Amino acid sequence: MLAVPAGRVVSYGQVADMAGLGRQARFVGRALGMLPAGHSVPWFRVIRNTGQIAFPPGSDTFEQQKALLMNEGVEVINGRVSMKRFRWRP
């Protein structure tokens, strides 16, 4: 499921692979953008493989996601999530 633990972020490819889509990460993004307003999917925890948010800095969605991630305890710097914390053990 798209249930990602709080304080943890997953890349689109991760979700795609988990959903069985394979390398269709784009499909995931499209599906998320197609989600209604009352969705129960933590889309804000879904970021790119590079650790950068899939939104241009300054966008409303970007700020929203950034705030949510920071709220979860994820370090968001310069519109980028410190994936060093998700690579190997800290």
Partner DNA sequence: GTTTTGACGGACA
Partner DNA sequence: TTGTCCGCCAAAA
Backbone angles phi, psi at 30, to 5 degrees: -65, -45
Residue 75 near residue 85 (C-beta atoms within 8 A): yes
CB of 22 to DNA, least distance (A): 7
Directed axis angle between helix 12-19 and helix 25-34, to 10°?
90
Closer to DNA at the Cβ: 49 or 71?
49
Q: Count residues binding DNA (CB under 7 A).
A: 34
The helix or strand, by DSSP H or E, that contains position 47, with its residue range, turns out to be strand 46-47
Evaluate whether 57 touches 63 at the Cβ level (below 8 Å): no
Interface with DNA, residue 61, by CB under 7 A = yes
- Site for DNA contains 27 (CB under 7 A): yes
For residue 57, state whether it binds DNA (rule: CB under 7 A): no
* 66 binding DNA? (CB under 7 A): no
Please say which residue, 5 or 44, places its beta carbon nearer to DNA: 44
63 part of the interface to DNA, by CB under 7 A: no
